[in-house]
Amino acid sequence: MRTFLRPTAFVDAPFALDGRTLRIAGGLVWASAVELILVDGGRRVVSELVPVDGLEEAIASLPDRPQRSARATLARIIGPRAPLLLGERTIRLDQPQVMAILNVTPDSFSDGGRHVTDPGEAAGAGVDMASAGAAIIDVGGESTRPGAATVWEQDEIGRVVPAVERLARAGVAVSIDTRKAAVMEAALAAGAGIVNDVSALTWDDRSRDVVSAARCPVVLMHHQGRPETMQKNPQYGDALIEVYDWLELRIAAAEASGIARDRILVDPGIGFGKAVRHNLAILNGLSLFHGLGCAIVLGASRKRFIGALSNEAPVTERLGGSVALALLGAQAGVQLLRVHDVAETVQALKMWRGLRDEALTPVR
């Protein structure tokens, strides 16, 4: 039997609620209840909503092994997330931050072809997104949209390195979005400070060693299947629990390769081998992933399921849904929001932060 804890019943501030709230990951979100989930044989056998002031008693009532697991999970939920140290830049993770998407590909689902032939223009777009409030610019040279073909690593290097170099020289914090060890090496040497791997370091046998040697942060993203076929017929028994379990295994593999847990971030992989209902189940249960003890990255911007829920809106007409999901992530305590529409998302987060700051200001 396995134990899971999902923080919920979020409150604006913990004032006058001593002992009745949990601060999530050292951030700006407090939960007043926790969903206690017990899973046996792949099935949820218990799902109980427990007020925070009753959580100790509920955990103490569990058998020994699930009790130890619950206590370890609870410690990971409330433990502060270390800031990202990216060269001269420090990205704090005690508040939601924006990771901007910069594709230098001819075929990405949202903006393919806009920047693939002009590194200067690509870097300029990245600088503009940083100026609009993005903390990190995530540069990718291979589309991993459903049906996308694999790109030869030297072609991918040729696309990303010129943009990474220019952005790094401009003082921008840069992430490299790739599955390939050679691309990771080239981009890190060019000034990138974090690796964002949609395969969670499973596609290339050398990738874990590259990240470990570089001592850089890494995003491990869940996926089911390969980009060419991942949306054909994805199957899950319990999508939320299965994604959590898979990420837990990938964290353990990364740690075994010498990658410290405080340098690991996790991404549930919205749209990567998931039907609409799977995406929605994961988003509804998003705060469960705090139990992994890693910062969370949410990349739901302009995804196909937004269109599916809004009269098949094309990719250019998914801004409202994208911002709504970014705010859902912020409210659930997500640390990094990976988005296309930087200015709009930053503005929405400023409103969220303003409300939060007011709630955290003592009444005089």
Where in the sequence numbering do the catalytic residues fall? 303, 338
Query: Residue 64, Cα to own-chain centre: how many angstroms?
Result: 32
**Which DSSP helix (H) or strand (E) runs through 49?**
strand 43-51
Which CA distances in Å does 2 have to 38, 44, 66, 70, 343? Answer: 6, 9, 6, 9, 42
CB atoms within 10 A of CB 184: 27
Which CA distances in Å does 204 have to 179, 201, 208? Answer: 7, 7, 8
Burial of 351 (0-12, 13-18, 19+ CB in 10 A): exposed
Q: Where are the beta strands (DSSP E) in 108-242?
A: 136-140, 174-177, 194-197, 218-221
DSSP 292-345: GTSEEEE--TT-HHHHHTTTT--GGG-HHHHHHHHHHHHHTT-SEEEES-HHHH
Which CA distances in Å does 128 have to 121, 195, 228? Answer: 10, 21, 32
Tokens 């929605």 locate to 280
